[in-house]
Chain A
Amino acid sequence: MSAETLEFLVGEEKNLRELLLDSDVLPLLKGALQAGAGAARVVADDGEELWGESAEGGRGELLARHPILLEGEPVARLELFGAQGDRERLAPLASLLCVALDTVLRNNLKRVLTTEIHTSVVNSSHEELLRMNAELAGSEARYRELAENLEVRVRERGAELKRAQARLLQQEKMAAIGQLAAGVAHEINNPLGFITSNLHTLQKYMARSCAMLQFYREHLKLQQPLENLIADAEVKWRELKLSQVLADVGDLMAESLAGAERVSRIVADLKGFSHVDEAGESPVDLNQELERTLGVLSHLLSGRAEVVKELQPLPPVTCQGQLPGQIFLNLVQNALTHAGDSPRITLSSCFDGERIRISIADNGPGVPAALRGQIFEPFFTTLPVGSGTGMGLAVVWEAVLRLKGTIAVADAPGGGADFIITIPTGKE
């Protein structure tokens, strides 16, 4: 294992020099000399003397030799020299010396191994931590980027949704106008039908009258006796049924005139309701707007619904003219949709000096308390899918907001829903 990589291999071979220090070995060898040995030395397997101590008076003969084992392998030998006569005394000393060296060697090896494995484990744990740290930093950066993108995405989606909602509100308004137009067309078609029919009849009557006049003109030229002329004219008069014609003409004219007036009244209502001639804000009487709404919805109301009006005089409200109409139209239509077979719609208005309060109540099933927070939200509908857009009350909410007012729904007395609109007057 190279030192550069700082890698450590458990089990790497050690040599004696790495494991034993001079300060470990030499004192032991010196001790042997003091005990009377001529020389003591540690010689490696290849014959190299690793450590040695000799007495001044010459080393004498080799008295004892012991192998030194490192992990079971004989790697060196301990040699003890001295006088031949000291052999008996010095041989046990050599064994003792060997045991001492072996003990020191084993303890040192143990210490070195422990230190090495410890260092290696600490290093690898440290490296692991560094790696984990780098990974975490990486993933954190990734998440942060994701989070940032997410915010942008959510913003984009939010804006998209808002645009879609605005588009739908607009569509709802257009749809309402379309429905209104259809209803009004029907309303106008009715009088127009009988006016046209009356005009046809009047055309025929006119032809008969002209025929009578022509008769007179021709017979007067003949200068007949007057009695004859009177008798002939009487026959012609009867023939043309001019008595009935004269009796009918008055009725037809009156009826047609009334029809025409009805048409012009509807057109006036519609004009007033739509405020087509007005740009910007103008003072508006909300009671009048309620009446106009009822006017343009007359094709839905007349003969089918009972309308109760409890209107008190109101101060004018300055606003865009078509807003109140949008509110009332949607609320009255809503009441008609939900009120069942014999609808009764109660319209009331009052003014308490600060605020105008308008209530549009029906005799339908009412709005459950749990749904009251939701009904003004876009797309909320209790009708089957495809029957309602869920935008009607959202249009109302938006319009009320633009009048700086509030709208809430309550239980009407005797059941049903009561939509209450509160609008502050311009004085505040």
Chain B
Amino acid sequence: MIEYSEKERRMVLKLVYYGPALSGKTTNLLQLHDLLTRQGRGELMVLDTTGDRTIYFDLLPFFLTAPSGLKIKVKAYTVPGQVCHDATRKAVLQRADGVVFVADSNPAETQSNFASFDNLERNLELVGLDIENIPLVIQFNKRDLPQVIPEGEIRGTWDPTGIPVVMASALNGAGVAQTFGILAGLVYDRIDARYQLLQGHGLTREQFVQQLTSLKEEP
């Protein structure tokens, strides 16, 4: 958690999109920005890029107010996927409340997925977070590719771990809001008890998730 102030009645949460280079982390945020209603959502901030590759991070902020008046800001970040930007990844990962791991469904990228997940595990430890406890959703992106790792194989690998897995095609918007919604729910579960979201602030899980993921009404 970035910030919690009882006096100011403010809570700032951080969600991070992690994953190998070119797996579609920024595309996820772009699609969220386009899919979700303007209400309570800030503008997508894409920090300088070189040739469409993230070098620092992207930020999509959300803002909602609990019935009690508690202001909750949720900031969704992407990290740069390229191996060389590890210091930036660590900086962005600091105090994260939840992580989406965007994996590439291309079978040729299996090794990169492994390496990046390994990197996530190590960096979480370095910034004092525990991969066993942090809310984590795995998104297998690029399901629209002609050749993908079969879903059965993916489920066989990940279902035993209890980590939710979402099949997505971020480019077409498929699975993007679902991924974000699942993570929001997990984050709510994790912080509710401690911060009394329901008891003290009257904010239900459904409200929290719904406010973060309400889709634009089709014009």
Contact = CB atoms under 8 A, between A and B. Distances in A.
Contacts of B42: 69-73
B71 A113 contact: no
A11 B14 contact: yes
A121 B91 contact: yes
A260 to B, nearest CB: 97
Contact of A72 (B2, B63, B77): B63
- Kindly state the interface size class of chain B when it binds its partner: 20 to 34
A88 interface: no
Interface string A115-150: 001101100110010000000000000000000000
Nearest to A126: B87
B41 interface: yes
A106 interface: yes
B130 interface: no
A72 B88 contact: no
Given A71-B75, A117-B47, A124 B61 contact: no
Contact of A10 (B10, B41, B77): B77
A70 B71 CA distance: 13
Contact of A121 (B2, B48, B59, B88): B88
Interface string B22-51: 000000000000000000111101011000
Contacts of A170: none
Nearest to B13: A11
A70 B12 CA distance: 13
A12 interface: yes
A370 interface: no
B188 interface: no
Contact of A120 (B10, B40, B59, B91): B91
A118 B62 CA distance: 24
A117 B45 contact: no
B62 to A, nearest CB: 6
B56 A8 contact: no
A128 B94 contact: no
Interface string A48-74: 000000000000000000000111111
A117 B47 CA distance: 10
B2 A9 contact: yes
B118 interface: no
B201 interface: no
Given A69-B42, A73-B71, A73-B73, A117 B57 contact: yes
A109 B45 CA distance: 9
Nearest to A124: B87
Contact of B57 (A10, A72, A109, A128): A10
B205 interface: no
Interface string A1-40: 0000000111111000000000000000000000000000
Given A72-B41, A73-B73, A11 B12 contact: yes
Given A8-B91, A73-B73, A110 B61 contact: no
B95 interface: yes
B59 A113 contact: yes
B3 interface: yes
A113 B73 CA distance: 17
Contact of B73 (A9, A72, A110, A124): A72
B90 interface: yes
B99 interface: no
A9 B94 contact: yes
Interface in B50-69: 56-57, 59, 61-63
Interface string B1-13: 0110000001010
A110 B87 contact: no
Given A11-B75, A12-B3, A106-B45, A117 B40 contact: no
A282 interface: no
A124 to B, nearest CB: 5
B40 A72 contact: yes
A179 interface: no
B45 A124 contact: no
Contact of A73 (B45, B63, B85, B95): B63
B92 interface: yes
Given A120-B91, A124-B90, A13 B3 contact: yes
A73 B41 CA distance: 8
Contacts of B48: 114
A72 B62 contact: yes
A118 B85 CA distance: 11
Contact of B87 (A11, A109, A114, A125): A125
B43 A106 contact: yes
Interface in A161-185: none
A11 B73 CA distance: 10
B81 to A, nearest CB: 15
A114 B56 CA distance: 7
A117 B91 contact: yes
Contacts of A72: 40-43, 61-63, 73
B152 to A, nearest CB: 37
Q: By CB atoms of chain B within 10 A, which of A9, A69, A71, A124 has the most?
A: A71
3 smallest A-B Cβ distances: which pairs? A72-B42, A71-B61, A72-B63
Interface of B: 2-3, 10, 12, 14, 40-43, 45, 47-48, 56-57, 59, 61-63, 71, 73, 75, 77, 85, 87-88, 90-92, 94-95
15 contacts: A9-B94, A9-B95, A10-B57, A10-B91, A12-B3, A71-B59, A71-B75, A73-B42, A106-B45, A110-B47, A117-B47, A117-B92, A121-B87, A121-B88, A121-B91
Interface of A: 8-13, 69-74, 106, 109-110, 113-114, 117-118, 120-121, 124-125, 128
Given A9-B94, A10-B57, A13-B73, 6 more contacts: A10-B94, A72-B42, A73-B42, A120-B87, A121-B88, A128-B87
